[in-house]
Structure 1
Amino acid sequence: MTKDNRTTEQSSLHDNLEQKSMRELLVAMNAEDKKVPDAIELIIPAIESFVKSALERMKKGGRLFYIGAGTSGRLGIVDASECPPTFGVEHGLVIGIIAGGDSAIRKAVEFAEDDTEQGWKDLQTYQINTNDTVVGIAASGSTPYVLGALKSANAAGVLTAGITSNAQSPLAEVAQHIICPVVGPEFVTGSTRMKSGTAQKLVLNMISTALMIGLGRVKGNKMVDMQLSNNKLVDRGTKMVMQILAIEYDEANQLLKTHGSVRNAVDAYQQNKD
């Protein structure tokens, strides 16, 4: 796909934005955003195929890596950083990597995404191996940093996937699993932090949550291994224990504080009852 043919670079369906009222702008943006879930629905089989393959490797001790540049890299880091507090997994199980390093999370690093070698170098610092999985995230599907990383990962026997908003992109040719929600032209032409970014966030939520459920980190519909890192979460955990065990708040709260997690509190209570 040439750059001129990329969906993400096509002219917006809306024009003269500076002449519209604030209400008109917001309504039009929301109308475009509504297209994102429909685009994702069309590719659920592709997401399913990838998650099943990744889960097999993670059950063998493999890790999940997200790698991207700019907005794509930041979204990967956000999803990775949310897995330990939400599901109680170690910080090294899901890892987000961004072109330009951690400083690029807050401030763009010029030309970092154009380095075809650095992505694989960044992955190698984690002693990446054949049980691991790498997801390249690039709305354009042509980011050199991501493409280079996935090519090297493939050669090393690592499972790879790519998330892009452009069909028939270079990323689609490189990734073993391609996840491509085609959301159409952006509201502001070329601004992939909008619909494409929203699609990436939703897909990443689906991938990590489905994997954590597959790894046994959810029971029923509850985050039984979540970290109790503030009063709100302690209260939420207490109410989970109450509901699961049909006991009063104070007893549930004491169990939770004693055993450190919803899962451990419930297991300890049930073992004492047996």
Structure 2
Amino acid sequence: MTGNDALRGTLEGLTTERADPAFADLDLLSTAEQVALIAEQGRRAADAVAAESDSIAAAVDGIVARMRQSGRLIHIGAGTPGRLGVLDASEIPPTFGADPGLVVGVIAGGERALRSAIENAEDDADAGAAALADLGVGPLDSVVGISASGRTPYVSGALREARRRGALAISVANNRGAEISADADVAIEVVSGAELVAGSTRLNAGTAQKLVLNALSTLAMVQLGKVYGNLMVDVQSTNEKLHARAERIVMHATGAAPEVAAAALAEADGSVKVAIGIIAGEADATAVRAALAERDGRLREALSVLRAG
């Protein structure tokens, strides 16, 4: 048996690689029917994520425990999973006011692989390990290795290196009994099923991966006090739209009139948290910042301090 024969046999056993006969007439359907199938498959991916709630929650708890000690969250993958990891990481700073180094995305093949396929990059386990070494990964970090098939060597190498360095290793795969699960402290296996276009794991599998990454990073930020209720109180007002959003958040949180919210934001140097504290805590910006520092940036707790004082 050749290496290709063995690999073909492995792939044939994966649900993500299976050609589902239910979609055999895809190219004969009307556009409306094709759109309906896409939507149906998206719901299927979401249901698969919901079925893994316990493992996702365990991963979030592990990530948060380490982040509270200055740890990082690192997504790593090849191809679509790698691109999704980089996307998720890049959206954390503007949304939650987090340091750009708090959530990091790594893709096999480097920056060029974000736009172009890099041949054989996913097959290099040593490169996955080297990427984590380059980042200086340690015991306080959490590493999320993402692979639709669950057998990508680059991801396996990264997860093994993460564990060797004492980091929390989390795997995200789209097949049950995935190889990378054996390399993880927390295994998330989101069985999203056969793809509408057979083997095109940018579809169901990619949707499911995006949902999982959303959950891991967003809920970590929630638990770290980056939101108040469901409001983005650490949002960075870097453009006109975001400045207007900041005013709306302050108004929503406090019931203040637009001019009051705008004045508080000006006093707070654009900080939504501080502006809310000025209004709801009836304090000046210096006092609000002190209360936030005392409570590790948790606005709800800071407001309790201000009101008690």
Q: Structure 1 length as normaliser, TM-score?
A: 0.96
Secondary structure (helix, strand or coil) at the match of 1:11 reads: coil
Secondary structure (helix, strand or coil) at the match of 1:137 reads: strand
Q: 1:265 aligns with which of 252, 272, 275?
A: 275
Are 1:171 and 2:183 an aligned pair? no
RMSD: 1.5
Deviates more, 1:103-112 or 1:87-96: 103-112
Q: How many residues align?
A: 274
In the alignment, what sits opposite 1:255? 264
Aligned residue identity for 1:49: A
Secondary structure (helix, strand or coil) at the match of 1:95 reads: strand
Of all paired residues, the percent bearing the same amino acid is: 42
How far, CA to CA, are the matches of 2:144 and 2:252 in structure 1?
37
How far, CA to CA, are the matches of 1:108 and 1:199 in structure 2?
21
CA contact (8 A) 2:178 2:189 kept: no
In the alignment, what sits opposite 1:100? 109
Are 1:61 and 2:73 an aligned pair? no
In the alignment, what sits opposite 1:31? 40
In the alignment, what sits opposite 2:88? 79
CA positional deviation for 1:107 = 1.1
- Stretches of structure 1 lacking an aligned partner (at least 5 in a row): none
Aligned residue identity for 1:105: L
How far, CA to CA, are the matches of 1:242 and 1:9 in structure 2?
50
Q: Structure 2 length as normaliser, TM-score?
A: 0.85
How far, CA to CA, are the matches of 2:117 and 2:283 in structure 1?
53
Deviates more, 1:103-112 or 1:119-128: 119-128
In the alignment, what sits opposite 1:189? 198
Secondary structure (helix, strand or coil) at the match of 1:74 reads: helix
How far, CA to CA, are the matches of 1:210 and 1:26 in structure 2?
31
Aligned residue identity for 1:65: I
Q: 1:219 aligns with which of 204, 228, 242?
A: 228
CA positional deviation for 1:152 = 1.3
CA positional deviation for 1:242 = 1.8
Q: Which has the higher contact order (CA 8 A, sep 6+)?
A: 1
Aligned residue identity for 1:48: A
CA contact (8 A) 2:137 2:165 kept: no
Deviates more, 1:245-254 or 1:78-87: 245-254
In the alignment, what sits opposite 2:13? 5
- Stretches of structure 2 lacking an aligned partner (at least 5 in a row): 1-8, 285-305
CA positional deviation for 1:53 = 1.3
Secondary structure (helix, strand or coil) at the match of 1:117 reads: helix
